[in-house]
Structure 1
């Protein structure tokens, strides 16, 4: 069973210029770029990948293109979250049969749910999938619903396929609870770039990052330094990583991330409506800011 560790990127999804279709041809070049930079995993069709803006059939086809492009060179996790349990089940079945290494499911969103309802959601969505690793995905800033360590424990008891969680809460005490108050083999990966080194020291297995899907260099370097015990070197790399991540809007803006990837020579196309690429004046301001930061941290486009 393959598990997430190290640097996993929250991959962008290349679209046509008008954002109406997935650009399957561009996925291969993008995946090659990421793997050549040394990333360990690719998290496809999640928040950064505009997964929830695509139809179920588009998500399936895009995932197949990501799987083909990765070709076993990194771990590939398919985000299969959706508002309706039936869609989650359909996406999970497809991810498993298509050859993904595992899946992730975001907590139910839009409505405010009680903890027992969230537990029921995950239990029912995953009950028919066996021998396939599944990660919970906690991003309460977007879903409005938290996955606590207590809830994670109850969900895992109902389905042992659920082996970990991607936490994007930004709350370090919450992350610490997920690490300490769940079984030792429960994997915690964190989507908070500014705390990457900190969460590794706390016991997290790695990160899942949007900015790392544009500039993987410092993420990979930091993880390698941490693994060989060079904590002071990792601290210095964290400073640079943080500056780059903040310049990219902390990963919150898909248009910014796609624009930056275009400047790195990759074909990303547009965004799925209602998202819009940056206006010309916004691009100029963003480029000036990025150029200054990259020069400061000694990193090239």
Structure 2
């Protein structure tokens, strides 16, 4: 089974300009761009991919387009999270049968859940899914619920098919606890760009990054430097990567990511309502900010 390591991109989902339809043809061009930049994995239809703003059927069709576009050239993980576990089960079944390499499921959200309820949610959603690696997805800033090492261990003990966690908490102590206090065969990947080198040194398997969806080359360079033992080179790359990430709002704004990606020649279209593409004033301000940073890090669009 393929598992996440290195640089995984939290992929954007190309939509039509008005954001009402998935642009399936544009997915191929976008995936080719990411693969050519050397990414190791693609995390499709997650937070950055507007997955929770799409219908179940839209998510299925979009995933099929991503799988076809990737064509085995990188590890393709399908985000299958939803508020109702019946929908999670449906999306998981589709992801596996369609040829995804694995899946991720965000923790239950909106309501505040006890730890035993979170464990039950994941176990019920993934029952009878075998030989298909699944990652827990911890993003408490949006869900209001944490996946702790204890919760992760309880889930992994009862379902070893759940092989790791994607942590986007931004809390490095929590990440360190996930790395040190879960089972050795349980993988940790992290969505905290400004700490990419640090989390690799801590023992994480890699990153799942929104800004890497636009500027993957810095992430790939840092990972390669780390693997070669060039820590000083990786530190220098981390400084540049951090500047870029900050200029992109740390990946929190999908309209910003799609706008800057279009400036790189890859059209990802509009955003699903109520998200909105930037107005002219916002565009001018962003352009100045991005161009300034690109000049500093010696990179062009």
Tell me the TM-score range normalised by the shorter chain: over 0.9
Tell me the equivalent position of 1:152: 152
Tell me the equivalent position of 2:108: 108
TM-score by length of 2: 1.00
Give SS of 2:135's match: strand
TM-score by length of 1: 1.00
Tell me the distance in 2 between the aligned counterparts of 1:245 and 1:29: 23
Tell me the equivalent position of 1:41: 41
Tell me the equivalent position of 2:283: 283
Aligned-residue Cα RMSD (Å) equals 0.4
Tell me the distance in 2 between the aligned counterparts of 1:106 and 1:128: 19
Tell me the distance in 2 between the aligned counterparts of 1:33 and 1:226: 23
- Return the offset for 1:86: 0.2
The runs of 5 or more residues in structure 2 that have no matched partner are: none
Tell me the distance in 2 between the aligned counterparts of 1:47 and 1:255: 13
Tell me the equivalent position of 1:174: 174
Tell me the equivalent position of 2:199: 199
The runs of 5 or more residues in structure 1 that have no matched partner are: none
Give SS of 1:198's match: helix
- Return the offset for 1:185: 1.2
- Return the offset for 1:38: 0.3
Tell me the equivalent position of 1:57: 57
Deviations 1:21-70 (A, max 9, x none): 00000000000000000000000000000000000000000000000000
Between the two proteins, the alignment pairs up a number of residues equal to 301
Tell me the equivalent position of 1:91: 91
Tell me the distance in 2 between the aligned counterparts of 1:108 and 1:237: 36
Tell me the distance in 2 between the aligned counterparts of 1:192 and 1:269: 26
Give SS of 1:271's match: coil
Q: Structure 1: which 4+ aligned runs deviate by more than 4 Å? A: none
Give SS of 2:136's match: strand
Tell me the distance in 2 between the aligned counterparts of 1:116 and 1:299: 48
- Return the offset for 1:128: 1.8
Tell me the distance in 2 between the aligned counterparts of 1:299 and 1:40: 21
